Amino acid sequence: MISSIWGRFSALGLLIALVTLILDQASKYWVLYQFWPTHGCDPFEKTGLFQCRVEILSFMDFTMAWNTGISYGLLANNGDLGRWLLIGFSVLAIIGFCVWLAKAEGRLLALSIGLIVGGAMGNVIDRVFYEAVADFVSLHGFGYYWYIFNVADVAIVAGALGLLYEMVIVPTK
């Protein structure tokens, strides 16, 4: 029974998840309560996508965006039912990844799952307390604005790339 919820690399994966969660929430706290107020912007005013923008580098801005959907705003919703469905789905995914973590047989897999779990937890916290996910880093170039994201999103993408590497590149036993 215990082996189904705790494995050899569970501690590593959960430590990575905790560090990811802390970094994500600390960065969001700083942006929402320190950075934007000192730049004359109310980040909680949800009237427009680009109401707050500060250039950081020639290809990167801090741009406040509240995402009510998932990646790239897919499945965006403006109601409580949709928000709670996304929260419920995310919690089930987190549980599923933790079960997978208990069966992980390598550090890269545990690290990847930990990044995904920590990132998902950070975005769930946003949905619970702010009703949307706080995104604030905007990459752009050549007149195109691509993706507005946060630390949790970076962790989830890095974790997914790690899983992909594990599944495609690493030889099976």
Q: Give the pLDDT confidence of 81-100 residue by residue, as tens digits.
A: 888 999 999 999 999 999 99
Minimum mean pLDDT among 5-9, 23-27, 68-72, 79-83: which range?
68-72
Q: Which two tokens stand for residue 16?
A: 């990575």
pLDDT (0 to 100) of residue 68: 84
Catalytic residue chosen out of the listed positions 24, 61, 126, 153: 153
Q: Which two tokens stand for residue 98?
A: 């933790």
Domain ranges, ordered by start, for the chain: 2-45+54-142+154-168
pLDDT (0 to 100) of residue 81: 87
**42 classed as catalytic:** no
pLDDT over 90 (residue 147): no
CA distance 47 to 20: 29
The residues with which 141 forms a beta bridge, in sequence order, are 144
Of 66, 127, 131, nearest in space to 91 by CA: 127
Q: Residue 111, class by beta-carbon neighbours within 10 Å (0-12 exposed, 13-18 middle, 19+ buried)?
A: buried
pLDDT over 90 (residue 136): yes
Tell me, rounded to whole angstroms, the distance of Cα 34 from its chain centroid: 20
Catalytic residue chosen out of the listed positions 24, 61, 126, 135: 135
Q: Give the pLDDT confidence of 58-86 residue by residue, as tens digits.
A: 999 999 999 887 665 555 566 788 889 99
pLDDT (0 to 100) of residue 143: 84
